[in-house]
Structure 1
Amino acid sequence: MFRFGAPSFDLWSDRSAATGGAGDETGLTTVRDFGDNPGRLVMKAYVPAGLKPGAPLVVALHGCTQLAGGYQSSSRWTELADRHGFALLCPEQRRSNNPKLCFSWFTPEAVRRGQGEVASIRAMIEAMATERRIDRRRVFVTGLSAGGAMACAMLATYPEVFAGGSIVAGLPYGAAAGVGEAFAAMGKGVERSGTDWGDRVRAASDHAGPWPRVMIWQGEADETVAPANADALARQWLDLHALSPATLTEDRRDGVTRRVWGDGAVQEIRIDGMGHGVPLDVAQGEIAAPYMLDVGVSQALETLAFWGIGRSAAPRRPRPAPARAPVRAAPKAPARTPERRSARKAVEAAVTKALKAVGLIR
């Protein structure tokens, strides 16, 4: 039986969470005993000093090899929470679950409503919403890579909880049901119709709509999660929102392509030359790091604007970015061309690299 327990917030008053008094050096505070935790995740959170009842909640999910604190620090999520007045939840994976700290988006029991990691994150959200009197109509989720795929899983399994999501270098819900399928999906994507993708979300709960708004982010030079996955994500959420692909409007400026369908409930931003990671703009105070890439575009600021929390930061001309995020002890791969992408050896190499990047092979 899935239950929500009484959270133990005694260690994180508004003051301690805002100042880091009871938290770590990143400003996040660990919350224990938040309820059922079948996925064995760690709850870390931040509440600005004096946050008033009725504030939004942002859930931010880190990528593989990252911890919650480092992920939020690069995008300055705690500072954005102070500035725009929202609570921040940063679930964290344990090495005992995955040595590379990847969320288990490819494990069926981890992404099934009422079970596994999605149930743990849902319990964290309930704990914060109850204790901090969050506006339940304004709960949002974002994430990178495995965290992006898990963000999509949260939107699929608990769509009634979320007003919107922002998926960065992620994969659609139902893209894989095991390690082998995960690598194949990451390496080249999975070809399905929009209806098929949408049916996988509809089968994840008894929710009949309305569906969360979704923003999709993808680097065109991503060699870990193939750009084909962004196309599949768009098809999945277009089907759920009953938006025709023919309603697409597209704007391209300085290597950044923004795609908007219909009323804007589904949007996609693709960035030329960007590898695997979160788009940052250091001019906005963000900090580049592995898988956190300064390309002159702030995913965090653009996402908040999409959700109606903050104003959009107009993208400036992207800076030259690495073709892929730095990967320790990995050889530098040559730039991909259409010819290489079509060659069998290049596909095999990309899949192998992707598997190593998420720690599923050594």
Structure 2
Amino acid sequence: MKFSIFATAMLIGRSGAALVSVSNFGDNPTQLQMSVYVPDKLADKPAVILAMHGCGGTGQQYLQQSGYTKLADEKGFLVIYPTTTHDNHCWDVASKKSLTHDGGGDSQTLANMIRYTFTKYGVDPAKVFSTGSSSGCMMTNVMMAVYPDLIVAASCYSGVAAGCLAGSPGASPSTADPACAAGRVVKTGAEWAAQVRAMYTGWNGTYPRLATWHGHADTFVSYLNLEEQIKEWSTLLDVAYVKNLTATPQTGYTEMVFGDGTKFVAYSAEGVGHTVPVHPQEDLKWFGIA
């Protein structure tokens, strides 16, 4: 397979670091755009983070919003910043194609971006992570469900459980069934887990570790969706609630710890609306990027 790349921006003047646009990363059934932030000095067998923008955004905008570039320069990891131009620039988290392993939807295109980094940059398959805000958080949940063979761990800001929008005519505020964002899609943990397992019926392994964040004052994607994510992933990861850690990682935030805290944690942000700001340092701790 031939890969075609070209640099679109020199983002760090003191180094050769760049946001590189990749025009041919493999099958691209949904015509997404791929850019990858490449630090001047890559670590040996580097980590890669798939970082996805919210509705109306772009990968380039999320590079600025997420704040990973300085850390990538320091630690030598890659960040994929994809862009969707469909459905008001929202990720497809609703169609059968996207909610099926190698089903031909956005999730497959994103998986192919990750696979490209294995060949091009020698990424360590044990160091593949996903994150995103709003629609990007929703797609992170989907990537965890549909590609647990690729994603090792994830963080997620102000989204919904994988499968919450299944069958909706779209995934943007103007096209989606409003029940999901309003927190009216309510299931048991077992029901959520069964829905996720049906997305990749051939998978018998473990699911990715998750740290998920939601603002208590979010009226756009209801805070009630945090409970549904908790039910879904605590069931899939087989961990029970243990304790709250107040003022963690900062004043106004509460960390809910499940099991021994290494597989699943959830953060509630008092007074925070849509979306919870990205916490890149906390993400790196969760991912284990030293």
TM-score of the superposed pair, with normalisation by structure 1:
0.72
Separation in structure 1 between the aligned mates of residue 146 and residue 33 of structure 2, nearest angstrom: 20
Alignment of 1:138 onto 2:133: no
Partner of 2:256: 259
> Quick one: percent identity of the two aligned structures?
29
Distance 1:213 1:105, change over 3 A: same
Alignment of 1:128 onto 2:128: no
Task: Quote how far apart the aligned CAs of 1:188 are.
Answer: 2.2
Alignment of 1:241 onto 2:231: no
* 2:136 partner letter: G
Equivalent of 1:269, from 263, 267, 274? Answer: 267
Equivalent of 1:150, from 136, 139, 160? Answer: 139
Query: Do the aligned partners of 2:95 and 2:105 also contact (CA within 8 Å) in 1?
Result: no
Alignment of 1:198 onto 2:193: yes
Separation in structure 2 between the aligned mates of residue 211 and residue 238 of structure 1, nearest angstrom: 11
User: Alignment partner of 2:4: what SS?
Assistant: coil
Task: Quote how far apart the aligned CAs of 1:43 are.
Answer: 0.3
Partner of 1:357: none
Alignment of 1:107 onto 2:95: yes
Distance 1:12 1:53, change over 3 A: farther
Task: Quote how far apart the aligned CAs of 1:116 are.
Answer: 1.1
Task: Write the deviation string for residues 165-202 of structure 1: whole angstroms up to 9, x where unpaired.
Answer: 11111111111221476411101241101011111111
* 1:307 partner letter: F
Separation in structure 2 between the aligned mates of residue 145 and residue 182 of structure 1, nearest angstrom: 16
Larger Rg: 1
Separation in structure 2 between the aligned mates of residue 175 and residue 184 of structure 1, nearest angstrom: 9
Query: Do the aligned partners of 1:22 and 1:29 also contact (CA within 8 Å) in 2?
Result: no
TM-score of the superposed pair, with normalisation by structure 2:
0.89
Task: Write the deviation string for residues 224-268 of structure 1: whole angstroms up to 9, x where unpaired.
Answer: 1111111111111111111134xx211112321101100221100
Task: Quote how far apart the aligned CAs of 1:19 are.
Answer: 5.5
Distance 1:48 1:170, change over 3 A: same
Query: Do the aligned partners of 1:152 and 1:172 also contact (CA within 8 Å) in 2?
Result: yes
* Larger relative contact order, structure 1 or 2 (CA cutoff 8 Å, min sep 6): 2
* 1:203 partner letter: A
Query: Do the aligned partners of 1:17 and 1:47 also contact (CA within 8 Å) in 2?
Result: no
Partner of 2:172: none
Task: Quote how far apart the aligned CAs of 1:8 are.
Answer: 1.6
Task: Quote how far apart the aligned CAs of 1:20 are.
Answer: 11
Partner of 1:306: 286
Separation in structure 2 between the aligned mates of residue 63 and residue 81 of structure 1, nearest angstrom: 21
* 1:117 partner letter: D
Query: Do the aligned partners of 2:41 and 2:73 also contact (CA within 8 Å) in 1?
Result: no
Q: CA RMSD in A?
A: 2.3
Separation in structure 1 between the aligned mates of residue 105 and residue 16 of structure 2, nearest angstrom: 28
Task: Write the deviation string for residues 195-220 of structure 1: whole angstroms up to 9, x where unpaired.
Answer: 11111111111211222100110000
User: Alignment partner of 2:161: what SS?
Assistant: coil
Separation in structure 2 between the aligned mates of residue 49 and residue 6 of structure 1, nearest angstrom: 23
Separation in structure 1 between the aligned mates of residue 139 and residue 16 of structure 2, nearest angstrom: 28
Alignment of 1:221 onto 2:217: yes
Task: Quote how far apart the aligned CAs of 1:16 are.
Answer: 6.3
Unaligned runs of 5+ in 2: 170-174
Task: Quote how far apart the aligned CAs of 1:7 are.
Answer: 2.2
Distance 1:20 1:190, change over 3 A: farther
